Amino acid sequence: MTRKKKSGGAAPPSQRQLRVGELIRHKLAEMLARGEIHDDVVAGHVITVPEVRLSPDLKLATAYIVPLGGADTDAVIEALNRNKRFIRGELAHAVNLKFAPDIRFRRDETFEEASRIDALLASPKVRQDVEKD
């Protein structure tokens, strides 16, 4: 029996992608909390790692980061990119994979999107539709 490929969008992440992404997220958050990344910009910020997504072949990890308060995000991403080689080496020891994934850092925009949706729902135009009997 042959499987038919779904015709809409990308496939959801596999269980292995989710598990390895979570392991990488935990190790990266631990490294940031302990100050293992020796960079003045990184040391000067409290950084949250809400999510790490992996490619299907587990060779590329995208870490979404948010500095506390959302300030200096570009500077923090640049500092993390400068230390990418060290971070990848530490992740290789923590996550037992055949190949350590290449890591890239992106700004996490989910909190901003949630705030935008909340603002839309609180707008007078939407409130009048919701409050109708």
Q: What is the pLDDT of residues 42-85, one digit of tens each?
A: 888 899 999 999 999 999 999 999 988 777 889 999 999 999 99
Is the domain spanning 15-108 CATH 3.30.300.20? The answer is: yes
Helix (H) or strand (E) holding 107: strand 102-107
Instruction: Give the Cα separation of 112 and 114 in Å (integer).
Output: 5
Instruction: Give the Cα separation of 58 and 102 in Å (integer).
Output: 9
The pTM assigned to this predicted structure is 0.77
Q: Is the pLDDT of residue 1 over 60?
A: no
Q: Is the pLDDT of residue 22 over 50?
A: yes
Instruction: Kindly give the residue spans of alpha helices, DSSP state H, lying in the chain.
Output: 15-34, 40-43, 73-82, 84-94, 110-122, 124-130
Query: What confidence tens digit (pLDDT) does each residue in 80-122 have?
Result: 999 999 999 999 888 888 888 999 999 988 777 778 888 888 8
Instruction: Extract the tokens encoding 77.
Output: 């991403």
State the pLDDT at residue 108.
Answer: 85
